[in-house]
Amino acid sequence: MGLFYFYPLGSILGISFARGETNLTSGIIDALASPSVRGVLWFTIWQATLSTLLTLLIGLPGAYLFARYDFRGKAFLRTLTGIPFVMPTLVVATAFNALLGSSGWLNIGLMSAFNLAEPPIQFAYTLGAILLAHVFYNTTIVLRIVGDFWAHLNPRLEQAGRVLGANRWQTARQVTLPLLAPAIAAAALLVFIFDFTSFGVILILGGPRFATLEVEIFTVSQFNLPLAASLSALQLACTLGLTVAYTRLSARLARPLSLRPHSHALRKLNTWRRRVFSGGMILFLLVMFVSPLAALGARSFTRLEPERRQRTEVEGGFTLDFYKELANNERASMFYAPPSKAISISLGYAVITVFFALALGLPAAWALARQTNSLFNSLVDPILMLPLGTSAVTLGLGLIVALDHPPIDLRASPILLPLAHTLVAFPFVVRSLAPALRSIQPRLRQAAAVLGATPGQVLRYVDLPLVGRAVLVAATFAFTISLGEFGASALIARPEFPTIPVMIYRFLSQPGGLNFGQALALSSILMVVTAASMLAIDRLRIADIGEF
């Protein structure tokens, strides 16, 4: 982390400070003096705030549904709502374009039904598109963090309030809400961090009208590196502060409370009010999470005729043309990689990322789990979580700036991208492994030692079998995050070695139905892989152990 995280970020800060003429922070102050930069910063903050509020508005009723009610298909619905969390942002943006864009299914249906010449819904390049994609992407964070904590609260606390004369509203406000406050605040902070550093969604759905700090850094870095460094330093200060606050709130969730097993708090849907609420919420979640992904998959197998758009006819109906074109290199260029090569490159990078992330994450999680010193954990845990709140674009820019001269010149090395992916995946690996390692009973290790086992044998025969599933979960997280990472890849990936998200962005940036179709095909492939990864994570997850 010192070599590939703190040193690159220190290089970014060094360039930003060198830009100042009077003091260290004058470079950032000069950047903030620009009305355009202030406008970008203000939009970044308030769109993240609005997105977070909307996510809580939808996520809290869903968290209550999962925490308090037992119904058929609950496990499947829970897994389904978790798929967007590991879904690459470019895939999410492409999915909403396939559903609500000018050539999306909803516009096609309305134009066909009412014989319209133009799409009635203007979705792309609007604030509503950004907010909707953010809510889709981050609702599962609220469902998981708040829902899991809520499910283990002792229901007798609420019952005691009712016995003492409190009505439903008073019980919720004076008993349940104060107990849930740390979980809600932690979920809100994490959602805000992801919205604050949003890149792919803003780039594709926001277009030229909207830009966050992340998009501005990516754009400015191509022609004004000092200004990009100042913007990166500004964003870094914001996100790192939020990350430290998040780790403090996460620690509060581990404080002893009157908790009970999940099954003790579950209720049956035996009244009409419960059935109406649960049925409406389940239907809403299904429509919200299934419709964009289903639209993406269906659109990738359909060729529309753009010249006859006013009639919204489908040329040839079902087609595999977009998938067949993924293996072609129409330019016949040595410096152009066909999409099929991008798939193999991404898979190779993902395998390397898994190896690096586990090699770093396992000993880090081990140290956090074995240390009983609260001071150690309070200092080290936030440091290990710092990459979670660091912009991927800023991280990529720092790696390019810092590692471009001997003795460490990796700017043209293919290993630079897996290193960036490892840093992005590292917090998820630690958060998946540390709770599982803490759950191991010390007496098991002591019994093995009494029977003559060496520390290495204790690790091999006691610890690893008990946390093997958590290791697989962490590896799956690292693999999936590497496949879908776009922010750092957009800056680091060489033209002849693109990743799948970089290739999707290239296709979406070029005109033509074939380019759009290939972007849909690649997005669908990535969607299937990430959905399968989420299914594997939920299947391998040990009860509710693990923060994500």
Taking the mean position of all CA atoms in its chain, how far away is CA 286? Answer: 20
Using CB atoms within 10 Å of the CB of residue 165, give its burial: 0 to 12 exposed, 13 to 18 middle, 19+ buried: exposed
Closest CA to 338 of 498, 181, 154, 541: 498
Q: What is the mean pLDDT of the chain?
A: 82
Using CB atoms within 10 Å of the CB of residue 298, give its burial: 0 to 12 exposed, 13 to 18 middle, 19+ buried: middle
DSSP type of residue 222 = T
User: Rounded CA gap, 126 and 123, in Å?
Assistant: 6
**What does the buried/exposed string (b/e) look like for 142-164 if buried means 16 or more CB atoms within 10 Å of the residue's CB?**
bbbbbbbbbbbbeeeebeebeee
What is the CATH classification number for the domain harbouring 11? 1.10.3720.10
User: Percentage of the chain surpassing pLDDT 90?
Assistant: 21
Question: Around Cβ 465, how many Cβ atoms within 10 Å?
Answer: 9
- State the residue for tokens 């898994």: 354
- State the residue for tokens 């040839």: 316
The secondary structure of the chain in percent helix, strand, coil, rounded to multiples of 5, reads 75, 5, 20
Task: Confirm whether 367 is domain-assigned.
Answer: yes
Task: Confirm whether 548 is domain-assigned.
Answer: no
Q: Give me the number of domains the chain comprises.
A: 1
- Which phi and psi (to 5°) does residue 303 adopt? -105, 120
pTM: 0.82
Which residues is 314 bridged to in the sheet?
Answer: 304
Contact 146, 63 (CB under 8 A): yes
Q: State the residue range of the domain holding 35.
A: 2-540
Per-residue model confidence as pLDDT tens digits over 44-75: 999 999 999 999 999 999 999 988 888 888 88
User: Rounded CA gap, 442 and 424, in Å?
Assistant: 32
**Cα 253–Cα 257–Cα 260 angle in degrees, nearest 5:** 105
- Which phi and psi (to 5°) does residue 69 adopt? -125, 145
- State the residue for tokens 């590896």: 475
Contact 243, 197 (CB under 8 A): no
Per-residue pLDDT of the chain (548 residues; tens, 9 = 90+): 889 998 988 888 787 777 655 555 666 777 777 788 888 889 999 999 999 999 999 999 999 998 888 888 888 888 888 888 778 888 888 889 888 888 788 888 888 888 888 888 888 888 999 999 999 989 999 998 898 888 878 777 777 887 888 887 888 788 888 888 888 998 999 899 889 988 888 888 887 788 888 888 888 877 777 788 888 888 888 887 887 787 777 766 655 455 455 555 677 888 888 889 999 999 999 999 999 999 999 988 887 654 444 443 444 467 888 888 887 766 555 556 788 888 999 999 999 999 999 999 999 988 888 776 667 777 787 788 888 778 788 888 888 888 887 778 887 788 899 999 999 999 889 988 888 887 777 788 889 989 999 988 887 888 778 788 888 889 998 999 999 898 888 888 887 788 999 999 888 888 777 888 888 899 999 989 988 888 888 777 655 555 55
Task: Confirm whether 215 is domain-assigned.
Answer: yes
Provide the 3-class DSSP secondary structure of residue 403.
coil
State the amino acid at position 529 in one-letter form.
V
Task: Confirm whether 456 is domain-assigned.
Answer: yes
User: Rounded CA gap, 298 and 439, in Å?
Assistant: 44
Which residues is 409 bridged to in the sheet?
Answer: 404
Task: Confirm whether 545 is domain-assigned.
Answer: no
Task: Confirm whether 53 is domain-assigned.
Answer: yes
Which residues is 408 bridged to in the sheet?
Answer: 405
Question: Around Cβ 394, how many Cβ atoms within 10 Å?
Answer: 30
Contact 241, 386 (CB under 8 A): no
Task: Confirm whether 213 is domain-assigned.
Answer: yes
Per-residue model confidence as pLDDT tens digits over 65-109: 988 888 888 888 888 888 887 788 888 888 898 888 887 888 888
Per-residue model confidence as pLDDT tens digits over 187-231: 999 899 889 988 888 888 887 788 888 888 888 877 777 788 888
